[in-house]
Structure 1
Amino acid sequence: QAPEVDGSTTLQGGDLAALEPGDLVRARVVAADGVDLVATPVEMIDARRARRGR
């Protein structure tokens, strides 16, 4: 995604029902739709662990 556009990334597939706002997910981009990306989740990342690792 370019800095001059307001694109988004949409997650598809996987266990998306388990996601909550603030969760971090490693994802693989599988398609593009204009300036937007489509990705599939690869790995759930513990948000608390990720914040501590900064």
Structure 2
Amino acid sequence: MKKKIFQFLAKVNKKVLPSFTKKGLDLAKASKLQMAIFGYKLWVTKNALD
């Protein structure tokens, strides 16, 4: 059940949130908001794959 929720969130994130890797964002120069979004997407992806 938990995995299904994270898989759904991952699909929503892909459609709604920006892709920083495609934009070539340098994480050393990223704003706090960009880092928070990146961390959230990473957390969701990690839990969707487990």
Pairwise TM-score range, normalised by the shorter structure: under 0.3
Q: Structure 2 length normalisation: TM-score?
A: 0.24
Q: Which has the higher helix share?
A: 2
> Whose Rg is larger?
1
Q: Which of the two has greater strand per residue?
A: 1
Question: TM-score under structure 1 normalisation?
Answer: 0.23
